[in-house]
Structure 1
Amino acid sequence: MERISEDFKEKIKKTAEMLKNRGLKKPGGEAVRKLIKDNHVGEFLKAERLGEKDLDKIKLEGGIAGVDGSINSIGGVYPYIIFIKRALGISSEKSREEIELSEVDSPLLMEEQIKEEDYRALQKKRLAELEAEAARQVLTKFRPKVLFLDGSLVRFKIEAKSCFDQIKDIALKNDVVIAGLVEGISTSVISGSINKGLPLEFRYAADWEILMGAMDEGEYLEIKSGLFKEGFRTLFMRSSNDPKPIGVDILEEQKDYTRFIANLVYTLTPENGRGIPLWMDIVDKKVKITDSFMEAVINGFLGEDFLEIITPKREKRNP
């Protein structure tokens, strides 16, 4: 191991101590629950695992479908980059039929060059549109009872509005319940609502951090209507042993299904898992675009010489 200077060690030690001290100042679970209740942020409820009859009923009504997407890139300094995007929809019924959509793109193919940050934002939007289109096709072809989407429904409303409006219409007409599952919660609606009762260090803490240690397994917090994500109902849930909660969005028009979705998520999530229903883990693994896949594709179609040209010199350094 390389020698680390004393000054560097001291800076690491100081930062580590500050982070530990911050953690010690976080209010306990009961204190957090009281602040949430007193400030009318939402209601804590307990989910129940569905029985075989309930699951059989869902199966008879079309089963469950999941849609997820993946994006990866290979290359060097912008614009010498190639992006691959995939969206995958799988039904739990229909012999697990799949709908797969994909796009391959590069800034070099644009008629007019744009800034790198704008191009990456465009790719993010295009991925959401690809996932939304896959979801639309899943609804049309499979007619499931429940459709799980990876990420907040707000993301699709913003990034893929036209297609999301179609998804919403199809779902409401056919009584298909749509739920967006958020693994990486980044919102701060709770701390923003109870900040007067929080230590200064936690005034802007993310919702997942505020709720860590405040919920039992299977418990969820249904956020008060109108407080968060207009047009949707949102809940934060501890669906496994993992104390870090996930987020779940459903359409405001389907608010009567909130408890049903909470129970279904809890039922389908492995006890020792990361909090996401097993079905979505299956979709995630199948759609993932790995670095090795990217290299194999580029080598296979463009050749190693092309990859050599666009690879940055820093990646060719000796270990």
Structure 2
Amino acid sequence: MNLLLVGNEGAVIKLREFATLCRHLLCKRPSPSELRSRLGALGRFYRVDPLHPQRRVVAVDGSLGTVGAHYPYFLVLMQAAAFALPRLEPPLVEHEVFSPLDPEVARALEEQGRDEEGWSDHLAEQQIKARMSALELRVALRVAELLPGALVMLDGGFVHLRDRAEELFQELRRQALDRGVLLVGVIEEITSCRLGKSLAFTGPALHDREVLYGCLAPGEVFELEARKPFLRVFARFGHHPQPVAFDLLPEQEEFLPEILGILRALTPADGRGIPSLIDLADRHVRLSRTEVERLVAAAVPTELREVFLSSHRRRRPF
């Protein structure tokens, strides 16, 4: 008998039930040809050829690592950086530390959560996301100031960035338009259901990932006709049938052919469809747990870590 199954038969049964559910959902999905036909009412399909970039291309990404125990005894180290080839000198990097142990942070969370039990923990998670987005936008602003005319890729869609740090996002938008900086939001994991709702299928609406999976040929894009709040293009620039999405500013629509051509040129044809500079930026900025713990150990004395950060769980003998 497979040792993995010993004592886990119940788990396997539940997982097989989940597989049946997924198979049922897949059977309800219309064929790719039908989907393409119906999507024609929402936008247009076309092929994009690679275009060698004639401007500087920069990717901005962020990473974070957490050290500590349960709320409020933890800290989050955040890092955002710009990555380009050839590399930027000096490097453009921003850091921030977030912790509910900070009295100002704790006070703001308590006021926002109205002292309801459990709310502070939830609001802290929201604050971390907001501060991480703000950190990335600050780095992007520095890129816009230093490299007028560059193409700047942000990791994630514009809606999330705007909602989490609206003032900084709008400032970046203004700077980009003033300085001729082309902005692109690269969305690796499509979680929206905009297309499925618009197509009005019977039953539960399909999410956009399900709608578009396998609908695009390699090198093809689907451009939404709608331009608000942002211009969105779904693309399959790699071998994998799951597309990615790009957000662009409606004011920069005239540069769309150039932007898509550059993104196609930067994307490995045998990969999953993400421009290689985004992956390089992720590797460049990523904070491992070990690295964060070493940085904290170097800056925060042992006696302080023991009182405020060390998790009792990690003291287990096994």
1:34 CA drift (Å): 1.2
- 2:42 corresponds in structure 1 to 41
What pairs up with 1:1-319 in 2 under 5 angstroms? Answer: 1=3, 3-4=6-7, 6-37=9-40, 40-50=41-51, 54-55=52-53, 58-59=54-55, 63-93=56-86, 97-111=90-104, 112=107, 114=110, 115-196=120-201, 200=203, 203-226=204-227, 230-303=228-301, 307=305, 310-317=309-316
Q: Report SS of the residue matched to 2:221.
A: strand
Show CA shifts across 1:171-208 (max 9, x none).
21222211111111111001001133x5x3xx333212
Distance 1:7 1:130, change over 3 A: closer
Counterpart for residue 117 of structure 2: none
Most deviating of 303-312 and 17-26: 303-312
Answer yes or no: is the 8 Å Cα contact 1:64–1:91 preserved in 2: yes
Q: Is the 8 A contact 2:83 2:280 kept in 1?
A: no
Unpaired runs of at least 5, structure 2: 111-119
1:305 deviates by 5.6
**Per-residue displacement from partner, 1:194-239 (whole Å, max 9, x unpaired)?**
133x5x3xx333212211111111111101124xxx2310011111
The number of residues matched between the two structures is 302
Could you say if the C-alpha distance between residues 6 and 249 of structure 1 is closer, same or farther in structure 2, counting changes exceeding 3 Å?
closer
Shift of 1:96: 5.7
Query: 1:126-146 CA deviation, whole Å, 9 max, x = no partner?
Result: 111111111111110122431
How far 1:95 sits from its partner (Å)? 5.3
- Amino acid aligned to 1:29: P
Cα distance change of structure 1 residues 224 and 78 upon mapping to structure 2, 3 Å threshold: same
Q: How big is the shift at 1:300?
A: 2.1
Contact map agreement 1:64 1:144 (CA 8 A) in 2: no
* Secondary structure of the structure 1 residue equivalent to 2:92: strand
Deviations 1:126-171 (A, max 9, x none): 1111111111111101224311111112222222222222222222
Deviation at 1:88, TM superposition (A): 0.5
CA distance in 1: counterparts of 2:149 and 2:262, whole angstroms:
14
Separation in structure 2 between the aligned mates of residue 178 and residue 167 of structure 1, nearest angstrom: 9
Give the whole-Å Cα distance in 2 for the aligned partners of 1:123 and 1:183. Answer: 21
Aligned residues: percent identity? 25
Distance 1:110 1:45, change over 3 A: farther
SS at match of 2:101: helix
Distance 1:142 1:167 in 2: 13
Return the alpha-carbon distance in structure 1 between the equivalents of residues 34 and 169 of structure 2.
Answer: 39
How far has the Cα of 1:6 moved from its partner?
A: 5.0
After superposition, the CA RMSD in angstroms is 2.2
Distance between the aligned counterparts of 2:305 and 2:31, measured in 1? 53
Q: Secondary structure at the match of 1:108?
A: coil
TM-score by length of 2: 0.87
Unaligned runs of 5+ in 1: none
What is the TM-score of this pair, normalised by structure 1?
0.87
